[in-house]
Structure 1
Amino acid sequence: MKVAICSQGDSLDSNVDSRFGRCPYFVLVETDTGVVEAAANPSAMVGHGAGIGTVQFLVSKGVEVVCTGNVGPNAYEALRSSGIKVYSVDSGTVRQVLEAFTAGKLKPISNPNVRSHQGMFGHTADK
């Protein structure tokens, strides 16, 4: 299974990023083989549609699960429609999140948990 973890950096030791569409990186892990790939998020700095663009990018990478802090309504619907499961993370390193996921300790997100445009510059984390 290919898991994408929203990250502030490009390694397993990077801190997770709570933003989905605007996180700088995804650390992609193939849980069956242990292969790790870091990928810059091509939608992190776009003006509009970051969440949808990010979902399209993850679909192209074959991602089946995303671990993130926040996901807005448009991105959530695109993830759901694409068959990508979403799990909630608060903090820690990518490695810690991966360990929690494989141990079954992360909670699935079953609805958007922030409003649209949450990760854009100047928007706060109000839910």
Structure 2
Amino acid sequence: MRIAVSSAGNTLDSLVDPRFGRRAYFIIADVEGSEIKNVKAIKNPAISSRGGAGIQAAQLIASNKVEVLITGNIGPNAVEILSSRGIKIAAIMPGISVREAIEKYLKGELGEVQGPTTGFGGFGAGRGRMGFGRRFQ
């Protein structure tokens, strides 16, 4: 089974990052039984994207033949892409390592996400976000 985890760093001992589209790395591990094998870190190219970061990240995960994604918050477009490709999404809270997240999944301790955990995209500095992004003259 191939599992991906959204991560703040590039190792199994890095902390899980609860954000999906704009996390620094995805750790991808092949798991046989309860043994973690063939670990690789993939830098997320969508982290600095102006828009559609979740979509780009979902496509990256799917292109790596991942079967399970462990993450925190994930938007509707990313969920749709991943679900359409048969990728299961498991919810995790921050504060634990990638290794611990995988172990919890294997023990059945993580719930499966059935839909988006964030309502809207566009958390950037647009005109409607409490004044951030306004043009000052």
Match of 1:37 among 40, 64, 68: 40
Deviation readout 1:53-112 (Å, 9 max, x if unpaired): 111111111111100001111111111111111000002110110110111111000111
TM-score by length of 1: 0.90
Tell me the secondary structure at the aligned position of residue 30 of structure 1.
strand
Aligned length: 122
Match of 1:89 among 89, 92, 106: 92
The equivalent residue for 1:101 is: 105
Tell me the secondary structure at the aligned position of residue 95 of structure 1.
helix
The equivalent residue for 1:111 is: 115
Match of 1:59 among 53, 57, 62: 62
TM-score by length of 2: 0.83
The equivalent residue for 1:6 is: 6
The equivalent residue for 2:134 is: none
Q: Which runs of 4+ in 1 moved over 3 A?
A: 120-123
The equivalent residue for 2:83 is: 80
Tell me the secondary structure at the aligned position of residue 3 of structure 2.
strand
Tell me the secondary structure at the aligned position of residue 114 of structure 1.
coil
State which drifts further: 29-38 or 4-13.
Answer: 29-38
Tell me the secondary structure at the aligned position of residue 9 of structure 2.
coil
1:116 maps to amino acid: F
Tell me the secondary structure at the aligned position of residue 34 of structure 1.
strand
What RMSD over aligned residues (CA atoms) do the two structures have, in Å?
A: 1.5
Percent identical across equivalent pairs? Answer: 39
The alpha carbon displacement at 1:117 in A equals: 1.9
The alpha carbon displacement at 1:121 in A equals: 4.5
Structure 2 stretches lacking a partner, 5+ long: 130-137
Q: Distance in 1 between matches of 2:21 and 2:60?
A: 10
